Amino acid sequence: MRLLVPLRALRAASLCLVGACSFLTACDSDDKPPRPTPPDTSPRKLTLLQTSDLHTNIFPWDYFSGKPDAKRGLAKVATLIKQAREANPDCTLLVDTGDTIQGTPLGTYYGLVDNTPRHPMAVAMNELGYVAMAVGNHEFNYGLGVLDKFKSEVDFPVLGANVRKSADGTEAFQPYVLTEVCDVKVGILGLVTPGVTTWERAENIPGLRFDDPVETARAYVPRMREAGADVIVVAIHGGPDKQPTGSASNPDSWLADYADESKWADRGNLPGENPAVQIAQGVSGIDVLLTGHTHQPIPKMLLKNPEGREVLLTQPNRWGSHLADVELQVTWRGERWGVDTHDSRLHVVDEKVAVDAAVTQLAQSYHDTTVTYVNQKIGSTTAAFPGGFAARYVDSPLGDLINIVQEEAAREAGFDVDFSLAAIFTNDGALPAGDVTLRDAYSIYIYDNTLYVMEINGSILRRALEMNTLYFARLDAANLPERPEGAKASSPVVADYNWDLYSRIEYGYDLTKPAGSRLTHLRFEGAEVRDDQVFVVAINNYRAGGGGGYSMFKEGKVLWTSADGVRDYVARYMQANQGLSPDRVNTCNFTLAPDLYTRYFAATLGPAKCAP
């Protein structure tokens, strides 16, 4: 394998280590001799490659469905990395922006079940020669012991300049790395979203505080310049706080003027959760922002810093589905190198990209162990719990089960909620009749959502319920679409995870009416819901933050947030409640007209308990 710079040399070139005040003093000194002119001052191209939000996806495999997935995995990204290096072998750096050691059962197993072996992500990333990684919020999910072990196993620094020790404010992580590639000194500053303190258990982040990334960047970037950095890169586990109002899959939509409010919609962030744009616009001296956390493919954004200079921002989506590729043209300016032009693009992982043999061989045993782990029996059912449209188009046992799990988790945390809401995320997740494996349990809740307990009022509830029906097209009861997916809205298409099913409230919809007037009734404990009526609800973090366009939930008050994912609560509930009966779990409190379940599924799955 061809590496641009030996890893030992990269570590030797790293300046300003955690707690190394002598280095910081030297970095800020005005007594340094002038930098000598390099023997070759001809212009050159630097390549920055970036991964982010890998979430322990090494193999092109979906552990939740038990099927291959050709559009993910570091083993495939590795092929793209090595191809990019061949194109610019002496001037390429590889960076990751966090959420690396958690996310799939592979991460769960080697974080919680058996943390003795070298972490599989450390093994794979060492093979690829990363120069640095910014810590992500999910790195803290298993506690500092697991994170510190991972840090000790990788051949590159894990950066986090805004993670400080609460006692004295000193650095808890190495803040930045300064490395030289093809005679150009590149400084990489690592930052993480301050939302860690909202989402994480206190016992997992003892003695730590998470400072404002904008102010942290403002403090460190000048130090990095003084330390000799020609190029300043901010690697942040955080992204833009807005997304395009049009199609975010259109690369041109990310090039719109960020100040034009008609072009951008709020993402439903926590305050300060995604400050990447504010860093680009508010901190002088930055050339590139490599971002993450928002799980979006962002080929290129162009922003202006305080002096009006253009700053480039990119993000390679999640799970190893893309590789970000930044090209910088630099020239010698008498005392240092400077960036003249910049560009970026994303390389897509798909069926045409082969897995890298070296990474595959190194990670194979970890993968095999994880497959065995997720295939273990954890529970049982007396009959199947259907998923997909069959679980969405009627008050279903699967929807009720997820809501029961959320209610129970909230109760264990000390909150007796009035009701819960949840979605059926995919068409693949379901529970079979008989034995249930861990993979089956995980399949019905594939995302990394955590659980919130919120206080909302009847007005918020009513607006959310009405918005809920935007999932559907306006239907003609006498002329229903041929297939179940035909009942969905097509302009715009609404994601399956944005159709919620509620427990404990009595409500119904008439889909023959226009959007905005489909809610037929709304009662709680037999009485009509008032706008000023207060409810305590169980809801996932995505929806609580306004995700999916449900901005009304942001008007509510967050009372508690979990550190564990909802899917982990699902697995624990199934372990504790053997022999789950769909009929006993299913409580009828919701109606949908026309009766879509009977139209599409009664002939194959039998009548539904809650069908009209």
Summarize pLDDT for 154-166 with one digit per residue, the tens. Answer: 999 999 999 999 9
Closest CA to 231 of 290, 180, 173: 180
Whether pLDDT at 29 is above 60: no
Does 3 score more than 70 pLDDT? no
How far is the C-alpha of 543 from the C-alpha of 460, rounded, in Å? 13
Per-residue confidence (pLDDT) for residue 440, from 0 to 100: 95
- Which two tokens mark 460? 């918020």
What is the average pLDDT across 210-236? 98
Rounded-to-integer distance, Cα 522 and Cα 519, Å: 8
* Banded model confidence at residue 6, pLDDT cuts 50, 70, 90: very low
Q: Do the Cβ atoms of 10 and 130 come closer than 8 Å?
A: no
CA 156, 160, 165, 170 dihedral sign is positive
The helix/strand/coil state of 306 is: coil
pLDDT at residue number 441: 93
pTM above 0.75, yes or no: yes
Tell me which residue of 361, 362, 354 sits closest to 79, measured CA to CA.
354
By CB atoms closer than 10 A (0-12, 13-18, 19+), residue 168 is exposed
Query: Is the pLDDT at 403 greater than 80, yes or no?
Result: yes
- Residue 131's pLDDT is 98
Separation between Cα atoms, residue 583 and residue 571, nearest integer Å: 20
Please report the pLDDT score of residue 431 as a whole number.
97
Which tokens go with 22?
A: 């002598």
pLDDT tens string 323-359 = 999 999 999 999 899 999 999 999 999 999 999 999 9
Amino acid occupying residue 9: A
pLDDT at 369 over 80: yes
Phi, psi of 140 (to 5 degrees): -90, -5
pLDDT recorded at residue 446: 85
How far from 161 is each of 153, 164, 172, 548, 558, CA to CA, in Å?
A: 20, 8, 8, 32, 28
Strand partners, 434: 381
DSSP code of residue 230: S
H-type helices in 469-576, by residue range?
Answer: 541-544, 566-576
Name the pLDDT band for 35 (thresholds 50, 70, 90): confident
User: 36-89, pLDDT tens digit by residue?
Assistant: 888 899 999 999 999 999 999 999 999 988 999 999 999 999 999 999 999 999
Lowest mean pLDDT among 31-35, 97-101, 239-243, 490-494: 31-35
pLDDT of 516 higher than 60? yes
- Cα 490–493–499 angle (5° rounding)? 115
pLDDT digits 0-9 by tens, 121-169: 999 999 999 999 999 999 998 999 999 999 999 999 999 999 999 999 9
Say what the pLDDT of residue 265 is. 83
For residue 548, is it left (φ>0), alpha (ψ between -120 and 50) or beta?
A: left
**pLDDT above 90 covers what percent of the chain?**
82
The predicted pLDDT at position 312 comes to 98
Name residue, tokens 């690369």.
251
What pLDDT does 5 receive? 36
What DSSP designation does 284 have?
T
Enclosing H/E stretch for 535: strand 534-540
Q: Which two tokens stand for residue 408?
A: 């129970």
Instruction: Check pLDDT > 90 for residue 8.
Output: no
Q: Look at residue 9 in the predicted model and tell me its pLDDT.
A: 37
Sign of the C-alpha dihedral computed for residues 139, 144, 149 and 152 taken in this order: positive
Span 519-567, pLDDT tens digits = 999 999 999 999 999 999 999 988 998 878 898 999 999 999 886 889 8
Distance CA 268, CA 512 (A): 31
CA distances from 39 to 36, 328, 590 (A): 9, 21, 76
pLDDT band at residue 202 using 50, 70 and 90 as cut-offs = confident
Q: What is the pLDDT of residue 425?
A: 94
- Give me the helices (H) in 61-119, please: 74-87, 105-108
Strand, helix or coil for residue 607: coil
What confidence score (pLDDT) does residue 31 get? Answer: 57
| Nearest residue to 278 (alpha-carbon basis) of 220, 198, 217 | 217
Answer for the pair 303, 313: CB distance below 8 angstroms, yes or no. yes
Average of per-residue pLDDT across 209-231: 97
pLDDT at 19 over 60: no
